[in-house]
Copies of this chain bind each other. A is one copy, B any other.
Amino acid sequence: MYRITVLGAGNTGYTTAARLSLNGHTVTLGEIPAFAESISGIRNDKKILLQSPTGLEEVLINRVTSDIALAIKNADVILLTLPAYAHKSFANECAQYLTPGQIVILMPGTLGSLEFVRTLKAAGTTGITVGEVDTSPYVCRKTGVNKASIFGTVTHLGLGVFPAKDTDNVATIINSIFPGISKYTDVLECGLSAINPVIHPAGVIMNAGRIEYSDGEFYFYNEGVTTSVSIAIQAVDKERIQIGKALGYKLKPVNQAIHEAGLGPEGNLYHSIRGSKILTKLKAPGTMNNRWLTEDIPYGIATWSLLGTSLGIETPIMKSFIEIGSIVSGVNGWEKARNLNDLGINDLNVENLRTFLKTGEI
Contact = CB atoms under 8 A, between A and B. Distances in A.
Contacts of A206: 205-209, 324
A307 B227 CA distance: 32
A209 B231 contact: no
Interface string A300-320: 000000000000000011011
Interface residues of A, number: 30
Contacts of A211: 226
Copies in the complex: 2
A223 B327 CA distance: 20
Max chain B C-beta neighbours (<10 A), residue from A203, A213, A321, A327: A213
A223 B210 CA distance: 8
Contact of A328 (B210, B232, B316, B328): B232
Given A224-B209, A228-B208, A229-B208, A316 B323 contact: yes
A208 B204 CA distance: 10
Interface in A203-251: 203, 205-213, 223-229, 231-232, 235
B212 A228 contact: yes
Contacts of A357: none
Given A317-B327, A328-B228, A209 B212 contact: no
B209 A327 contact: no
Contacts of A235: 327
Given A206-B206, A327-B235, A223 B228 contact: no
A235 B320 CA distance: 13
A206 B325 CA distance: 11
Interface in A270-327: 288, 316-317, 319-321, 323-324, 327
B229 A209 contact: yes
Interface string A156-186: 0000000000000000000000000000000
Contact of A223 (B209, B223, B229, B319): B209
4 shortest interchain CB distances as A-B pairs: A212-B226, A320-B320, A228-B328, A207-B209
26 contacts: A203-B209, A205-B206, A206-B206, A206-B324, A207-B210, A208-B226, A209-B226, A210-B210, A210-B224, A211-B226, A212-B227, A212-B228, A213-B223, A213-B226, A227-B288, A228-B288, A228-B328, A232-B324, A232-B327, A235-B327, A316-B323, A317-B324, A317-B327, A319-B323, A320-B324, A324-B324
Given A208-B226, A213-B226, 17 more contacts: A205-B206, A206-B206, A206-B208, A207-B208, A208-B228, A208-B232, A209-B224, A211-B226, A213-B223, A227-B288, A228-B288, A231-B328, A232-B327, A235-B327, A316-B323, A320-B323, A320-B324
